[in-house]
Amino acid sequence: MIHVRAAGTDDVEQVLELWSVAGENDDRPADDRDVVLALLTRDPQALLLAEEDGELVGTVVAGWGGWRAHLYRLAVHPGHRRRGIASALLRAAEERLVGLGARRLDAMVLEGNVDGQALWARAGFGPQERWRRWVRPTG
């Protein structure tokens, strides 16, 4: 059975390990302990974890800035995929964000991530063709 809960500071190393195995790490700054701790300090409920029999098997960041709701780092361990874990994480994330006042959810999905695109489409998301996210690294 899948249990979804908010992450705590004791979970950070396991989260980073999962992301190194399960996450799409193309075209983004590297995640590290300090970045995850900063997220948990800013919004202790934002990082949701899926556990099965006490083992971390998935994550999603359900970020809310008071204006927009963003979903990041939806990742499921490759050995646990296609069992409803991502769907459970997305349900929990939507519940959290709608409870905070969100009217629309968005997710960033790499164009080359075919499996990720299929998952997001099954969850009712679709690309917003007229828009493109513009980014610039800090520093």
**May I ask the CATH architecture of the domain 2-122?**
3-Layer(aba) Sandwich (3.40)
What is the rounded CA–CA span in Å between residue 131 and residue 80?
A: 33
pLDDT, residue 129, reads 86
What is the rounded CA–CA span in Å between residue 123 and residue 118?
A: 9
Q: Phi then psi for 2, rounded to 5 degrees?
A: -90, 135
pLDDT, one tens digit per residue, over 71-129 is 999 999 999 999 999 999 999 999 999 999 999 999 988 888 888 899 899 999 998 88
Average pLDDT over residues 4-26: 91
Quick one: which of 36, 49, 47, 46 has its CA closest to 88?
49
125's CB contacts (< 8 A; 6+ apart) are 105, 107, 109
Q: Phi then psi for 3, rounded to 5 degrees?
A: -120, 125
Global pTM exceeds 0.85: yes
Which three-class secondary structure state does DSSP give residue 134? coil
